[in-house]
Structure 1
Amino acid sequence: MTRYSLLRPALLLTISGALMLASCKKDSDVNPIASNKEVNDWILSNMKYYYLWNDRIPANPDTSLAPDKFFYSLLYDYTNTANVNRDRFSWIQASADELKASLSGQSKSTGLEYRLYYKGQSRTDIVGSVLYVLPGSPAAAAGFKRGDIFTKVNGQALTGTNYASLLAADALTFGMATLVNGTPTDTDQTRQVNPIVLQEDPVLLDTTYTIGGKTVGYVVYNQFIPGVFKPSGEADKTYDTKLDNIFGKFKQKGVNELVLDLRYNRGGYVSSSTNLASLMGKNIDGSKVFYTQQWNSTVTADRDKKNGAGWNTEKFSAKATNIGANLSRVFVLTSGSTASASELIINGLRPFMTITTIGTTTVGKNVGSITLSDDTKRIKWGMQPLTFKSANAQGFSDYATGFVPAVEVSEPSLGMKAFGTLSEPLLGEAIYQITGTRTTARRGVGTAEILTGISSSLDRKAGGGNMFIETPGELLK
């Protein structure tokens, strides 16, 4: 078994091994599926080398377990909910191909992102609230928009016991509802959608506002993805380039205040986080540190010997479209779905400028991972173990409990306004902080119409969406 260099310029870390068998044999003979024992041996070997807490792996793990159960049995303090610094985020999937696709923003979906809530104190009936809709998706074609609500799927009312199976169907007919005096009330309207394989464009909206002598740039960014991934495993940088062009327009328009909406962004590739930070950082260039990585002692010793000092340091990029010279601060909109590479933006920029968070407390993912798969394809599994902790240029890394917002504001559970609407609570609060002019009533956490949440479609994203991922060439994903 060969360990690939962490600096190897490829998308995914893989463990290789050639099978020297005659080409005339059948595929099943040349490349037989690995047994559970082989899979578990592969898991254990990689975890002993790469895992952040490799010194905490059990001395004699039970290799007779199914691969997924075996993997989770290795994780540091995984079930101890009292320990915020435990491993909450490593995961494994039976299909490495599906893992890689989901990390690149590709998945089978209707394009409808929603959150589910119990309708009342009985905690029986459920109402769905649409968070956003992907342009060009089946949901967009069916007329869905942010703020829509639904209570039925395929003719059945959603309940705590049936919602998972109903929403997993290959053909979905949503029974819509409306708010009557603040109460979800069923209508006769239905909307039909079928899931397809979608590639998500993470930039949902960009616009500018001129208010009170201020030129405000606003971007809704939902996942850190550099671009569309090719079969070779390389991204074409489509989405990073799109952000470059957006900030180029901001620069031309003289944007001097920026609102970055990361409320539904659970993370992604650090290369894209570095790219975005480099577009707005003040007094930064290619010599300034964005963040550093703290790996286990095994990897650190190897990399120190092979690469010398600085191998675990990520610096900003020099960007012609950087608008930092016109900014003294950035407003970041956050929620309990803001995680990982999103939190890296907040932490990494704070040594250089004021970052004011508005919304609710973030997830608290100050650790990153790499993708491990078997390029011989005998082992079909793919895993995403935590491999390093991140710190900003001042060495700060202690945010496992999340970033508490400077201004606490919660969007309502139901009846949400469209992104970019100045009366939308989080954006409206940012505009007030910038201009002193209120475009919406102050909506504190205690006064928002908050129902008891049960689930979200965002949870279907890789690893529950809590992603902070290093590629071998970038040492982060």
Structure 2
Amino acid sequence: MLHSTNWRSMALGLSVGASVWLTGCQKTENVQPSVTTSTTSVAVNTENQTVNNWILTNMQYYYYWNDKIPTTVDKNLNPSDYFSGLLYKYDATARPDGDRFSWIQQSADELTAALSGESKTDGMEFQLYIRPNTTDDIVGSVLYVLPNSPAAKAGIKRGDMFFKVDGQKMTRSNYSSLLSSATDTKQYGFLKVENGALVETSDVKTVTAVVFQEDPVYMDSVYTVGAKKIGYLVYNQFVPGPNGSAVATYDQKLDNIFIKFKQQGVNELILDFRYNPGGYVSSATNLASSIAKNVTTSSVFARKEWNKTITPDLEKQYGKNFFYDYFQTKAGNIGSNLQRVFVLTTGRSASASELVINGLKPYMTVTTIGTKSYGKNVGSVTISDSKKQIKWGMQPIVSKSFNSLGQSDYNTGFTPAVTVSEPLNPRPFGDVSEALLNEALFQITGSRLARRAIVAEVNAPTPIASTIERKAGGSNMFIELPK
């Protein structure tokens, strides 16, 4: 997810009473949308109509595809269904340029919190697969565990695999209900690998979900191989700081990491975005500004294209610079020591992760390793009712992103230069034998720092869902599988 949210919390004053949060070097904006709405219905649902009128008014003004909004959607529908009915939905054949990303939530407060990395969680992010050598059973692979979370305290770690929830084996028919049950406390039953096969164990771990703030800056390290000083950063969401904080704590943490990289003479860089679904443009700009080579504050990182309705108002209010994100001056910029950067990606690397890849390409060689990224070259804003009379919050797509060369050709994702798939039981982050990191180090040094323990790895089948997809309003992972 790539959304334009101003960390300085600058609200647009709208006649419909909506707060819209933007990013970059934008100033407080007072835009009066000129929208007329009408509806005819037989059975009137006043509450739904009030919310839906608010939805339509904002969508007609902000939505990137506002010229394609249908005029016949029933205002009596539940707001979620009504919002869905307005979208210019993606279709591979009929609408390949369509919308795959806009969403709405019943609680604007929960939406805002999720965008800042706060959610109710046990702290375990995982990927679901059809269990190897079966057609109906489901297995969960732990991608990573948040430090100090309930899952971490229970001893769960990256690479663990579970097959039971609350004593029941996960199958096609029940995994959704088991994982999305209303109970905060769950018991997970785990598998182990023996002779290359999955073996069920009696190991059970109990965790209770809590409201938890995730620090997206997961780890960093430096590897020294001869004259190579290789910086490595695992970054899991583009978030400036904790929910509700006025301080960009996480951006500052990244700044300090790059100052350390610079002090240690880092001359090669690996960015690990494999589980990063995106986030704030401001954080993407912040990170890229510590990496890009030969840039100044007049160098363009990204340009945003808005719809034809709002563009004249934005340009009149702010000038043409509103549509550009420029690199910043950073004390820790290591660009002068870099000729290239390596980025680790998977199908869960999206939006702001891809924005960084695209934005750096005009300035240096960017080599992606892993599997194809998600493909999201558009951005959204958070819209909520400043008067708090409407509790809903929505995140519609409002812009399309381009780099300084006018390139925006990654709507189907970035195909990796070197394809490497993760096993079902991945090794710890930072372990030089871990699949993606191992390949990146090989590409940099020309030698294997450690041989991958292939025998101990289990090849992963095609993934079916991941908790990463739900982060910050992503798609619902709990879907019924086709038989």
1:326 to 334, 337, 340: 337
CA distance in 2, matches of 1:130, 1:8: 32
1:408 to 403, 406, 419: 419
What secondary structure is seen at the aligned counterpart in 2 of 1:127?
strand
**What per-residue deviation string (whole Å, max 9, x for no partner) do you get for residues 74-99 of structure 1?**
11134556643210000001111110
Query: Which moves more between the two structures, 141-150 or 180-189?
Result: 180-189
- Partners of 1:12 and 1:370 within 8 A in 2: no
Change (3 A) 1:443 1:463: farther
Report the alpha carbon displacement of residue 463 of structure 1 after superposing the two structures with TM. Answer: 2.6
What secondary structure is seen at the aligned counterpart in 1 of 2:422?
coil
Q: Counterpart of 2:425 in structure 1: which amino acid?
A: G
CA distance in 1, matches of 2:452, 2:96: 32
**What per-residue deviation string (whole Å, max 9, x for no partner) do you get for residues 301-325 of structure 1?**
1122222222211100001111111
Matching of residue 437 in structure 1 with residue 447 in structure 2: yes
Matching of residue 385 in structure 1 with residue 399 in structure 2: no
Matching of residue 125 in structure 1 with residue 125 in structure 2: no
Report the alpha carbon displacement of residue 10 of structure 1 after superposing the two structures with TM. Answer: 2.0
2:41 counterpart residue number: none
1:316 counterpart residue number: 327
What secondary structure is seen at the aligned counterpart in 2 of 1:298?
coil
Matching of residue 35 in structure 1 with residue 47 in structure 2: yes
Change (3 A) 1:184 1:448: closer
Q: Counterpart of 1:147 in structure 2: which amino acid?
A: G
Q: Counterpart of 1:193 in structure 2: which amino acid?
A: V
CA distance in 1, matches of 2:81, 2:428: 42
**What per-residue deviation string (whole Å, max 9, x for no partner) do you get for residues 16-37 of structure 1?**
668xxxxxxxxxxxxxx97100
1:148 counterpart residue number: 160
**What per-residue deviation string (whole Å, max 9, x for no partner) do you get for residues 190-233 of structure 1?**
11100000100001110000013200000000000000132xxx
2:31 counterpart residue number: none
CA distance in 1, matches of 2:450, 2:377: 33
Report the alpha carbon displacement of residue 185 of structure 1 after superposing the two structures with TM. Answer: 1.1
Change (3 A) 1:113 1:11: farther
2:256 to 228, 245, 250: 245
Q: Counterpart of 1:10 in structure 2: which amino acid?
A: S
Matching of residue 228 in structure 1 with residue 242 in structure 2: yes
- Taking structure 1 as the reference length, the TM-score comes to 0.88
Change (3 A) 1:366 1:443: farther
Residue segments in structure 2 that go unaligned for 5+ positions in a row: 18-44, 477-483
Q: Counterpart of 2:86 in structure 1: which amino acid?
A: L
Change (3 A) 1:81 1:106: farther
Query: Which moves more between the two structures, 256-265 or 82-91?
Result: 82-91
Q: Counterpart of 1:255 in structure 2: which amino acid?
A: V
Report the alpha carbon displacement of residue 287 of structure 1 after superposing the two structures with TM. Answer: 1.1
Change (3 A) 1:84 1:181: farther
1:449 to 443, 453, 459: 459
Matches within 5 A, 1:461-476: 461-464=471-474
Report the alpha carbon displacement of residue 411 of structure 1 after superposing the two structures with TM. Answer: 1.1
CA distance in 2, matches of 1:463, 1:152: 26
1:54 to 60, 66, 73: 66
Matching of residue 68 in structure 1 with residue 80 in structure 2: yes
- Taking structure 2 as the reference length, the TM-score comes to 0.87
Matches within 5 A, 1:155-174: 155-168=167-180, 169-174=183-188
2:146 counterpart residue number: 134
Matching of residue 98 in structure 1 with residue 110 in structure 2: yes
Report the alpha carbon displacement of residue 66 of structure 1 after superposing the two structures with TM. Answer: 1.2
Q: Counterpart of 1:308 in structure 2: which amino acid?
A: G
Change (3 A) 1:343 1:185: same
1:471 counterpart residue number: none
Change (3 A) 1:409 1:82: farther
Report the alpha carbon displacement of residue 454 of structure 1 after superposing the two structures with TM. Answer: 2.0
Report the alpha carbon displacement of residue 13 of structure 1 after superposing the two structures with TM. Answer: 5.5
CA distance in 2, matches of 1:315, 1:377: 34
2:369 to 358, 362, 367: 358
- Partners of 1:266 and 1:465 within 8 A in 2: no
Change (3 A) 1:8 1:211: closer
Query: Which moves more between the two structures, 148-157 or 256-265?
Result: 148-157
CA distance in 2, matches of 1:443, 1:178: 16
CA distance in 2, matches of 1:442, 1:416: 11
Report the alpha carbon displacement of residue 121 of structure 1 after superposing the two structures with TM. Answer: 5.3
Residue segments in structure 1 that go unaligned for 5+ positions in a row: 1-5, 19-32, 467-477
- Partners of 1:17 and 1:376 within 8 A in 2: no
**What per-residue deviation string (whole Å, max 9, x for no partner) do you get for residues 76-126 of structure 1?**
134556643210000001111110010000000000001111114543111
1:10 counterpart residue number: 9
Report the alpha carbon displacement of residue 165 of structure 1 after superposing the two structures with TM. Answer: 2.1
Q: Counterpart of 2:468 in structure 1: which amino acid?
A: L
**What per-residue deviation string (whole Å, max 9, x for no partner) do you get for residues 409-454 of structure 1?**
1111x2210000111111011111111012356899xx98131322
1:205 to 199, 219, 223: 219
- Partners of 1:424 and 1:440 within 8 A in 2: no
Report the alpha carbon displacement of residue 51 of structure 1 after superposing the two structures with TM. Answer: 0.4
Report the alpha carbon displacement of residue 345 of structure 1 after superposing the two structures with TM. Answer: 0.3
Matching of residue 193 in structure 1 with residue 207 in structure 2: yes
What secondary structure is seen at the aligned counterpart in 2 of 1:70?
helix
1:86 to 98, 101, 113: 98
Q: Counterpart of 1:49 in structure 2: which amino acid?
A: Y
1:473 counterpart residue number: none
CA distance in 2, matches of 1:196, 1:81: 43
What secondary structure is seen at the aligned counterpart in 1 of 2:310?
helix
- Partners of 2:213 and 2:243 within 8 A in 1: no
Report the alpha carbon displacement of residue 182 of structure 1 after superposing the two structures with TM. Answer: 2.3
What secondary structure is seen at the aligned counterpart in 2 of 1:343?
helix
CA distance in 1, matches of 2:80, 2:137: 33
- Partners of 2:114 and 2:473 within 8 A in 1: no
- Partners of 2:16 and 2:57 within 8 A in 1: no
Report the alpha carbon displacement of residue 385 of structure 1 after superposing the two structures with TM. Answer: 0.3
- Partners of 1:16 and 1:375 within 8 A in 2: no
Report the alpha carbon displacement of residue 8 of structure 1 after superposing the two structures with TM. Answer: 11
CA distance in 1, matches of 2:383, 2:308: 19
What secondary structure is seen at the aligned counterpart in 2 of 1:280?
coil
- Partners of 2:128 and 2:140 within 8 A in 1: yes
Q: Counterpart of 2:474 in structure 1: which amino acid?
A: G
What secondary structure is seen at the aligned counterpart in 1 of 2:290?
helix
